[in-house]
Amino acid sequence: MSEIIEIGGNGNYSDFEDLLKNFKLVSKRLPTGIGFKRENQKSGTYLRFQFTLGDKRVTRASGCDFSEIGFVQALDKAIKIRHALDTITSITQFEEWYEQTILGKNQITDDRITYREIFTQIETKYWSSRNKNTKRKRSQAIANDLASYQRQYDYVFKRFNNWDIQPNWEDIKAVLLSWEQGTKSFQNSYSVVKKIIGYCPNADKMLALLADIDSKQTEFKQKQSISLEQFLEWHTLALSDSNTRYENNRKSWLWVASMCVVYGLRPTEIAAALNLDKLYTKDGVTIPAINNPDNHDLLLVLGDRTYFGITIKTGSRICKPMTLNAKLLEQLAVRNPYLPVYEHDLNSKSETVCNGFSARLRANLMLWKCPVTQAYAFRHLSNQLGEKYGIPQEIRARSLGHSVAVNESTYKKRSNLQTTVDLLTNHSKQPLSLDMAVNQLESLGFDVDDKSVKAILKVIYQLP
C-alpha cells in the first residue's frame, strides 16, 4: 500500500494532481482580463480573482474554495465580473455590486429616522429653494420667508409631542385630525403630513392609509364683496367724519383703500410704490410720477419691497388703473399720494411684521364702519371695474400680479352682484370698433372729415 501524502488537508497527492489539472483547465476558460490566484489560509485554500479596475490591477476575494465545486462557482462569477467591468462606469458602484453579487454580503441599511431628522431635512430643503412667485432665493433674513415657513410647516411640526422617536401612523393620524376635517387648515396640514410620510421607510404603507382620509375642503370662509356705489358712499361718509386730531391718519388710510380699488392692489403693495411723487426710470424708459398732472396713463411702479422692508407677494411690476374716469380719480384723490406712516417693533414675530400694514387697514375699516372688513374685496372690485371699462383679462391679470387662470377662477367667484348686473346690462353699450363707429356716424349724416369729429375719434380711440 502506497504512502498517502496530505497536501494542505485537501486529500491525497493523486487527488490534488487531478484538482490542479482541473484548475488549469478552468483558468483557460476565464473571460479576457480575469485571472485566478490561489491563496492558502489556516482554514483552507481559496481562490482569488485578479483583474484591472480603473487603471490598477487588483486582487479580490471570490468567496470560493479551492475545490471542484469552487472552480465551477468561480467561473460563473468571473463571467459576471467581466460583464460588470464592461458596463459599470463607477468604481464605487462596481465595489458595491461586487460586495453584494460576488461575495453575497447582504448589507442591511439603517433606515431608521426620527421626526426631528425629517423636520430638519424638510426645513433645509425649504431654505435652499426659491420663492414660487418671484423665483428669488429664500432667506431667513427676510421676514416674509420666515412667516411663510412658520405658516406652512412649523405650525404642523409643533403639533408632534416627541420629535425624537420614529414616525408611526397613530401619531401622524392624531396630529392630522387635530384640525377640523373639511377646513382649509386641514387641507394644508394634509399636504405637510404627506410630505413627512414620504421620508419614512414604510412610506408606501402609511400613504395608503392616508389616502383613505378625505382632504377636500368643504368649508369656506365667506368672501365679502362691495360695489363701487357702496364704496364711494362709505368713502365720502368716512372722510367727512374726521376730526382735526386724526384727520391726516384717516385721509392716509382712506387713500390706501382707494388705491386698492383703482389699481387692484393687495393692501401692503401700495407701500412698495416707487413713483408716487417722483418719476421712475429704467432701461431708458421713464414713467412719470402719479402726482404729475401731465401723467395721463397713471401707471404705478411697484418695487420688490415696501418702505418698511417687507417683500411683496409677486415681486416688482407695473400696474394699470382699472379706470381713468377723471371724476372718480379726483373724488378718491388718487393723484394726491398720502401714504400712511407704518412702523413695527423690530422684535415682533415675522408673521406680525408681514401682516401689520394690512391689519392696520382692516382695523380702520372696522372702526369706520365700512360695509366690508376684508380689504381683498377692494381688489376684486377693481378687477370687475377693469372688465366694465373694457380692459382685456390678460392686461388685468398682469396688472393685478397673477395669472389669467387665477383671474378666471378665483376672482370671478368673488364678483359683487350689483357690479355683475351693471356689466351684463351695459354690455351692449360697449364702444364700437373704429371702422364701425365711422360707418355709424356717416349713416347718421355726420361729416367724419370735420375737425371736431376727428378730434373726438382721436381721443376715444387713442389715435396718433
d(CA 220, CA 410): 13
User: pLDDT, tens digit, for every residue of 11-22?
Assistant: 444 577 888 899
φ and ψ of 387, to 5 deg: -65, -40
pLDDT at site 255: 96
φ and ψ of 286, to 5 deg: -115, 130
Average pLDDT over residues 92-104: 90
φ and ψ of 31, to 5 deg: -60, 160
Burial label, 239 (beta-carbon count in 10 A; 0-12, 13-18, 19+):
middle
Report whether pLDDT(461) > 90.
no
Average pLDDT over residues 275-284: 94
Q: Is 130 in a helix, a strand, or coil?
A: strand
Report whether pLDDT(414) > 60.
no
Instruction: Write the DSSP assignment of 408-453 as a string of letters.
Output: IIIIGGG--HHHHHHHHHTGGGSPPPHHHHHHHHHHTT--TTSHHH
Average pLDDT over residues 284-307: 92
Determine the straight-line distance between the first and last CA of the chain, rounded to whole angstroms. Answer: 125
Exposure letters 134-147 (e unless 16+ CB within 10 A, then b): eeeebeeebbbbbb
Contacts of 289 (CB under 8 A, 6+ apart): 275, 276, 277, 278, 279, 280, 295
d(CA 229, CA 15): 110
Q: pTM (2 decimals)? A: 0.64
pLDDT > 70 fraction of the chain, expressed in percent and rounded? 88
Report whether pLDDT(2) > 60.
no
Least confident of 8-22, 324-338, 363-377: 8-22
Average pLDDT over residues 389-407: 78
Report whether pLDDT(108) > 80.
no
CA atoms within 13 A on the CB side of 393: 9
Largest Cα–Cα distance in the chain? 141
Least confident of 79-93, 309-323, 325-339, 342-356: 342-356
Report whether pLDDT(417) > 80.
no
Report CA torsion sign: 75, 81, 86, 87.
Answer: positive
Give the distance, in angstroms, between the CA of residue 260 and the centroid of all CA atoms in the same chain.
Answer: 26
User: pLDDT, tens digit, for every residue of 400-412?
Assistant: 887 766 655 555 5
CA atoms within 13 A on the CB side of 62: 30
- pLDDT-derived band of residue 378, with 50, 70 and 90 as boundaries? very high
Report CA torsion sign: 138, 141, 144, 148.
Answer: positive
Average pLDDT, rounded, for the chain: 86
Give the single-character DSSP code of 150. Answer: I
Highest mean pLDDT among 215-219, 314-318, 419-423: 215-219
Of 217, 112, 207, which Cα lies nearest the Cα of 165? Answer: 112
pLDDT at site 440: 75
Instruction: Write the DSSP assignment of 185-251 as a string of letters.
Output: HHHHHHHHHHHHHTTSTTHHHHHHHHHTS-------PPPP---HHHHHHHHHHHHHT--TTTHHHHH
CB-CB contact of 183 with 176 (8 Å): no
CB-CB contact of 39 with 46 (8 Å): yes
CB-CB contact of 257 with 251 (8 Å): no
pLDDT at site 8: 41
Report whether pLDDT(244) > 60.
no
User: pLDDT, tens digit, for every residue of 440-459?
Assistant: 788 788 898 988 888 888 88
pLDDT at site 236: 94
Rg value, the chain, Cα: 38
CA angle 321, 386, 370 (to 5 degrees): 80
